Each structure stands twice: as structure tokens, then as C-alpha cells.
Structure 1
């Protein structure tokens, strides 16, 4: 006996099938929500990419291209703070990244790792000042995503271990030109230090978690994709791209992963310090 309804009736589907369909629909909705929050967090990088494309395809008057890019980045940074998309605390973090990135650019251009071949009034030792904003935009993304997704850290390593590790990774970008490149040793050490660390985030009221090392790899890979777009539009130029554009070597993913780790460690450490300060203030007024 099949009962009142026929077996072909859609309402007679087994509960497990309907549950599976509902799970797929829910997962897709959550993925879309997650993608939307990520896109909102990338507003500064998106503006930089759009400006690179615009100034490449449509020459602007009065100033060289690099100078227009600096003007656009400055205006965008002002608007981000003015509109409330970034807080003043986040601006301080982003400014720190601008300085760190610019120092790296000055050194790498001097060593011939890449170049900025176009003219510009706002170039310092061959490096246009807008280049620092490309690093700052990574910090902007991290700060925005941290706030929008309500990021929390689980089993974060101690301060005395995190800070020297970040410093060693950053210094290796300089010292490997004169000494042994220890990036793979540093990568192994990162795996060891953060093996038990997780990052949790919230999407649509539901909390998820991800191994911290995996998040480093994913962000580094997507920055490598962004790097290909940036070099295509002439943001900078590698030696093998002097005659014609070519895909950036996949090995650069390791460099970006390490730079992301430095960025993340700085942001996470400052967030932790800020949280501890707020907790102490609240405890003092309690």
C-alpha cells in the first residue's frame, strides 16, 4: 500500500533526500553571503585594480600615470575613513603596512627584482609612492574582513613566538639576496607554530572555522592571481615581462603566502593587544 499519494508525488520524497537538498541550498546561500562579505572587504584593492586598468587604457592629462594613481589612492584612503568604512585604529595599521611595503619596494627595485619603467614626479629611487598602497590594500582587506566576519582566533601562539617569526619572515625578503634563502625553513616553522591554531568567522549568524595555515595559503594564492592582473595593467614589471607580459611564476605564491603571514600576524597581534586593553578598561569600570 502506497497510501493516499502516489510515489511520483514530490511531497513523498524520502526525508533524507529533502534534507540533502535543503543542505545544498543552505550551503549555496551561505557561500553567496560569504562571497559578498569578501567582496565588500576588498573595496580598496578593487579600486586600485580599476585605477590601474583605467589609467592604462585611458591616458589622463596633466600628470604622469603613476602620479594619478597616487592621487586616486590618497583620495580613496581619505574616503574610506571619512565614510566610516575604516576606523582610525585600522588606518594606523594600514599606514604601518604602507611603510613596510614601501621599504620592501625600495630595496627590491634597487636589487633588480622588478621595476617601474614609466615616468612620474612622485617616484623615490625609482619607486612610485603609490606602490605602498598596494601593500596597504592587503591590510585594508584583512581589517575589513576581520570586522565583517567577526573573526576570532583559537589557540593563538604566544606573543614572544609570533613577533620574532613575523620579523624573520620579513627580513628574509632582504637577506636572501646576500645569504641563504630560508623561506622553506620559515614555512615549516609556521606549520609547526600554527598547527593547532584555527580562525573562526561568522556568516549569516552561523560560525565556521578554518585551519589558520589553510587561510594563509588561500589568501596568498588569490593575491598571486591579483598580481597577474596588476602586472598585466602595468602596476610594475618583472624582468621577464620587459618585452611582453607573461604569467607570473607560480613560485611567487610562496612569497605572497609569507607576506600574508607577516600581514596577518601584525593585524592579529594588534587586534589581540587592543582586545586586552579594552577588556582591562571594562574590568576597571566594572
Structure 2
């Protein structure tokens, strides 16, 4: 299964480079605009470029835990071909897709444990966004909750200085009873973002929380209301509202973490001053 394959630090092909840990596609060194689903599909195809990826595999990797129509897959493949060229992804009739661009200069793939140890050694702040809880029996609310979580992931990926875990990894904990500290340990992250979507008669309330993974302590919480009949249209606005309030709190939490480190750790001290400057700019 695609989700069980160790990720490479970098996959290069032609003018392009995939950076899985950063969830970025670079074209000629410039970050490309790419949605979360399209990125996960590209990563799945590139990692398994030595073979055909079936449609079921691709759907499972890009939409874990969801039942979606195949046309969603076609839409994402089309978006990737517009970025990479029409011949970058071959359609294998009746089977699936194959990534056709030749990769070069690939860094040897580490296993999960060595990736976590490397992150710990560099003291990089890591964060994962968990699936939002759905407080409604309406399936449309469920789709909205997943869309919001994905938008938050996509927006957090643009925040410099933080290493974001892909939604394919964090969404694997959907419906599990594991505690937050245990989830954080398994994902190897310092911070968790979780949330919920609750439906009332004419209103949807979206709640989001930032949790310190080591202690399980709530670092920030916020709620956002939207008319129920326009929530889907306002999904991106709601996600941006969450990020607008979440990002400075995340930065402040990281400052507090760094303050607890020894000042002799010059790298940590430098990151501290960078974070202070970021908060000053954000107000």
C-alpha cells in the first residue's frame, strides 16, 4: 500500500522537485500552487514510479477513509498534467496510472524512525492536523469537516519554520480511541491541531484547538460560526479565519518552548529571536 512506503527526502525529475516533508512541489526552484489532494496523488505516483498505481490505491492514498467518485481522481490527474506536462502521467486503461518522468538525484529513503530521530536532533517544530470531528448525521457536514481540515493543512504548509505532517498520515487516526499524546508520539510531532463541526438548525459552528503534544495541554481554542446554507461556499474563508488566529498562537507556543531550552543552544536561541520577530510583525 502507498501509505506504508517510506518517504524520500526529495524526488527530482527534470525541472521539478517534490519535497514530501514540506508538502511542496518546486518547479525551477519556485513553489507551485497545488492542492492537498493533488499533492498526495503526485507523491503516491512518484514514489511508486516503478509500477502502475491502481485507481483504488490512488483513491485510498489521496482520500483515506472516504468513499469518492473516480471522477475526483481524474480531476486531480488533469491538474497535475497541466503543471508537469501532458505526458507526465500515463493512463493505463482499466487499471490506473503510471508516473512516466525519470527521477534523478534522489536522496536515499529513510525509515520512519530515522526521520523522527532526525527531526528531534534538529529540534524542528512539527505539527499535524487531525480529522475534524463531525457533530452531525448530515453527510454534507462530514465532507465540509474534511475539506476544512485539508484547507488548514494546505495553509499551515505555507507557514515558514514548521514541519507539517501530511494528511495521509494524520487522517489515519480517524475514529481511533488513542489519546492525543499517544497520537503525537506515533506521528512524531510537537503540536496537534484538532477541531469539530457542529450543525444547528440554521448555523454551523466550527471549533479548532491547538494542543501541546507532549503535555496534552490546550494552547489555544477558537470557534467560528457560519450560516448553514452557505458554509460550503465559505469553506476557504473559514479555514483562513482559523489560520489567522492559529498561526500567531503557534508561533508564541514555539517561543515558549525555545525559552525553556538552554541558552547555550545557539541554534535554538537563533530560532527564538526569529520567532520573536515573526510575532512582532504579526502584531
TM-score by length of 1: 0.30
TM-score by length of 2: 0.30
Q: Please state which structure has a larger fraction of its residues in helix.
A: 1
Q: Please state which structure has a larger fraction of its residues in strand.
A: 2
Greater RCO, CA 8 A, separation 6+: 1
Whichever of the two has the greater Rg, that structure is 1
